Each structure stands twice: as C-alpha cells, then as structure tokens.
Amino acid sequence: MTKASSKGGSLRDKLDGNELDLSLNNLNEVPVKELAALPKATILDLSCNKLTTLPSEFCGLTHLVKLDLSKNKLQQLPADFGRLVNLQHLDLLNNRLVTLPVSFAQLKSLKWLDLKDNPLDPALAKVAGDCLDEKQCKQCANKVLQHMKAVQADQERERQRRLEVEREVEKKREAKQRAKEAQERELRKREKAEEKERRRKEYDALKAAKREQEKKPKKETNQAPKSKSGSRPRKPPPRKHTRSWAVLFCVAGGLVACRVTELQQQPLCTSVNAIYDSALQGLRRHEILQWVLQTDSQQ
C-alpha cells in the first residue's frame, strides 16, 4: 500500500502555499488524517493514482476548494460527498463512475465540473454534456447540480410517500388494535353486568324466601286456616238445648209413673200430681211456654 509520505517526506513538505500536489504517487488510498492536519491545503491534486474508493472520512475535509481526482479508478463517491460545501472546482475525468450520490446536490458552491470519460448513466451523461472547454465545464456543474437536486427531491418525495404509507399502515394497525381492545372491554363489561344482575336476582330471591319464611308462623297463629276453596271456615252450629229436653223427659216419665201406677198414693207422687194439675191449667194460658223460654235464656 503506497502512501504519499513514502514518496518523499511528509505532506507538509509537499505543500506549496495552499496547493498540495499528490498526483502520480501510485496512491491506492487517501491519507485522510494527514490531509486533515493541513487545513491550509485548499487545493488538492490526487490525479493519476490508483484510487478505487474514497473513505467516508474524506468528506470531512470541508476546507477543500479545488479537487482533482481525474485518471483514477473510482467506481463511486461517498454517500455524504455533499459535505464538501466549499468545493468550487471538481475534476472527475476518466474514472469508472456510473452515478453520483444524492448528496451531490448540496455542493452549492460548485462552479466547475468535468465528468468526461466515465460510464455514466445515460440520463446523467445527457445532463453533463461534453465539457470540452471552460464554458461547458461550468455549464456541466450548473446542470448536474440542478439534476441532482431534482433527483434528491424525487427521492425525498418517494421517501415521504413510503413514510406516509407506513404511517397509514401503522394507523390502521393501531385502529384495529384499539377496536379489538374496545370490543374486549365491552365484552368484559357486559359479562360483569350479567354476573351482577344474576347475583342481584339470587339476592332478591333469598330475601323474598326469608320474608316468606318469617311471615308463615304469624299466619298460622293469627289467622284461622282456610278451607281448600279459599273461603273462611264455617262457624260451628249452635248447641242444641239438650239439657232442657232431658229435664222434660225426666219430668214426663215421673209424671206418668205417678199418674198410672200404684205409686200415685205415695207422698211424692201426690205432690207431682198436684204440680201436673197446676201446670196443665197454666199450659192452657201459655204460661208454661213462657217459663220454658225464660229457663233456656237463663241457661
């Protein structure tokens, strides 16, 4: 691997004012660290070497104003090549470049550009033109910058479109997830309400059964049992005046014995017969009927 320092001392020794010539040194890599230590070297010539790539650190050499990379074997430029914002003159003649990085559009100070003898993309080659003289190279710089700005805008729109699509997909996914969560919450809420209603009904049923149980003894003690038809029980029939009739039968039997038998001469039968005669006379005046009724009412 050949470096500039091996071709005759340090880079500082090669510095001539603000120009540093590292051409024709068979370089296959750029001494970026050494170049970064020489901010005065605003003009850098790396032509006629064997460079195939430039490291990304090369884009940190923002002090460069003029850069010659012609007649190398560069296949592409670093993606952040646009960081060289102070670059005004760029020679890329006779390399192997097909496209330029999108960041190339950020080289707003670029006034001169040569892209001849590169296998450029047809659209880029048409924009770059021939660059056969100073005027054409200036036009090349202007047209290529405009073209790269358009490419950058197209890529930015495409990036925004993809981001928008991704956002829409994410929104739909989130909306679907929210709908699913809301459905699950509603289902849990409904199940909870149904469980609460079931428990409430069980509670009301238990309370009603308890109240019914508490009322049952009171009905048995305070209310007479109803008949099968639901009507009130009949009152017991009034007691017959059995005592009065028994007395009458006894008196009648004694009276018959005293009237028709041999006992009529006995002192008791004499009295009975006398009472009978008196009663018979009173019966004719309905006095005996009133006496019977009064006797019953007193009993």
47-106 pLDDT per residue, tens: 999 999 999 999 999 999 999 999 999 999 999 999 999 999 999 999 999 999 999 999
pLDDT of residue 255: 66
Whole-angstrom distance, CA of residue 89 vs CA of residue 260:
180
Q: Which two tokens stand for residue 105?
A: 């559009």
Residue 230 belongs to some domain of the structure? no
With a pLDDT cut of 90, the percent of the chain lying above it is 58
Mean pLDDT of 219-235: 53
Structural domain range at position 142: 12-154
Mean pLDDT of 117-132: 94
Q: How many CB atoms lie within 10 A of CB 22?
A: 23
pLDDT of residue 210: 86
Assess whether pLDDT exceeds 60 at residue 9.
no
Closest C-alpha to 167, from 175, 178, 179, 177: 175
The pTM is what?
0.57
Residue 232 belongs to some domain of the structure? no
pLDDT of residue 214: 85
Of residues 220 and 169, more confidence is placed in 169
Domain count for the chain, please give it: 1
Assess whether pLDDT exceeds 50 at residue 1.
no
Q: What's the pLDDT tens digit per position in 66-78?
A: 999 999 999 999 9
Whole-angstrom distance, CA of residue 143 vs CA of residue 220:
114
Residue 107 belongs to some domain of the structure? yes
pLDDT band at 215 (very low <50, low <70, confident <90, very high): confident
Residue 266 belongs to some domain of the structure? no
Residue 169 belongs to some domain of the structure? no
Phi/psi of residue 43, nearest 5 degrees: -115, 120
Q: What's the pLDDT tens digit per position in 265-284?
A: 677 777 767 777 776 666 66
Whole-angstrom distance, CA of residue 51 vs CA of residue 107:
22
Residue 27 belongs to some domain of the structure? yes
**CATH number of the domain residue 31 falls in:** 3.80.10.10
